[in-house]
Structure 1
């Protein structure tokens, strides 16, 4: 004959509840202790388990792009270019130039497709050159990273960009790091479409660029 089981005034645990084995107890918590708070950045999406931190930062948008790590044989500051396939260049609007027509040094923000900043670009010219030569002016362009280090340098001498003078077309010299020429961008003679050749240090054409039909600046 089975002994009478003492009835409990509490309902049995549900199927989802865990019971401690006999003789074992959950670790005691100090009186008044609460579980640690979970800090969530406003506007940032939650990171799924196992999701890389770099991918989470790229999904947030805005700010600066995370520098890719572990890229061998890559010049300092150009690591960004190994993980993106498109760059968007935005020119900064200068109020003085917009309202008065006085030509100021151009400034650009280079972003990826997520809207994150990759580089700054700053024109280095004098006031007389900008306002007398217009779009055909010679210039030096400095491309800076997040740490204000110059990672690229563009130099364009004074040339003619008219199709009537094919012997003096535009040419742009590219250096990375500054002082180390890695190639040139040379304009090809064309009547209706702007055409350029990208050449290495040996003068070999590695890429060609063809613009839209009948462009005017």
Structure 2
């Protein structure tokens, strides 16, 4: 079993019950100054041995691999087993005091959409909230002529970032490299960061879909934008890597 250090110096405070707070939870302030965020899915032994899809769980880590947040999936069992990549879900993210700090929500769709119909009836959209109930934006699959790409919007539906999804996700002995997803501005002319699916080794890649992602972003990026980019990691994991 892998032991992960836990960050204990997160800003204190939390959400009061009642009306939805318009402020970010205090512990989210820990993201300030971070330029590298690791999202690592927990390996589920039952899933690896049986092939039956279970609820995803993720550690959100800093660059020193210290746990800062933890995400747990809520979803329908039938959708997970029969329609794994397109299932609806709620990913509830907690801090190290087990307080709810952010949530990502996707509705079930029968298909993921191809490049030409990604914005039609098969459109995949993940809504982002922090704290629960406070909309901060969304992540959505967009139309294109060839490669799939993902657009990130703020709560006023302003286009913030675009992430291009490469055609090839091969990771094996012949291709032992990370899969890179460039993050650009809406004009596609300026790269503002990048996401990478980390290569874990041939054997590990073959037995399960517990993937690890590395998000590299400007350290002074707005906190809401950092949360949306974390949501984009989950979006891409479910969209392209939940099919083993």
Does the TM-score normalized on the shorter chain lie above 0.5?
yes
Structure with the higher fraction of residues in helix conformation? 2
Q: Secondary structure at the match of 1:87?
A: strand
* Rounded Cα–Cα distance in structure 2 between residues aligned with 1:177 and 1:68: 15
1:109 is aligned to 2:59 = yes
Unaligned runs of 5+ in 2: 13-22, 170-239
The 10-residue stretch of structure 1 (187-196 or 105-114) with the greater mean CA deviation from structure 2: 187-196
Q: Please name the residue that 1:94 is paired with.
A: 44
Residue 135 in 1 paired to residue 89 in 2?
A: no
1:194 matched to 2:148? The reply is yes
Partner of 1:63: 6
Per-residue CA deviations over 1:105-151 (Å, capped at 9, x if unaligned) read: 01111101111111101000121121011111111000110011110
Alpha-carbon distance in structure 1 between the residues aligned to 2:167 and 2:82: 27
Q: Give 1:32-181 correspondences, 5 Å limit.
A: 62-64=5-7, 66-67=9-10, 74-159=24-109, 160-163=111-114, 165-166=117-118, 167=120, 168-181=122-135
The alpha-carbon distance between structure 1 residues 101 and 191, as it changes in their structure 2 partners (threshold 3 A), is farther
Contact residue 6 and residue 96 of structure 2 kept, 8 A: no
Shift of 1:84: 0.6
Contact 2:101 2:132 in 1 (8 A): yes
Greater relative contact order (Cα < 8 A, sep 6+): 2
| 1:74–1:128 distance in 2 versus 1, CA, 3 Å | closer
Bigger radius of gyration: 1
Aligned length: 155
Residues 65, 116 of structure 1: 8 Å contact kept:
no
1:182 aligns with 2:132: no
With normalisation by structure 1, the TM-score equals 0.65
Cα deviations by residue, 1:26-54 (Å, 9 ceiling, x for unpaired): xxxxxxxxxxxxxxxxxxxxxxxxxxxxx
Q: CA deviation at 1:191?
A: 5.2
Give the superposed CA RMSD: 2.2
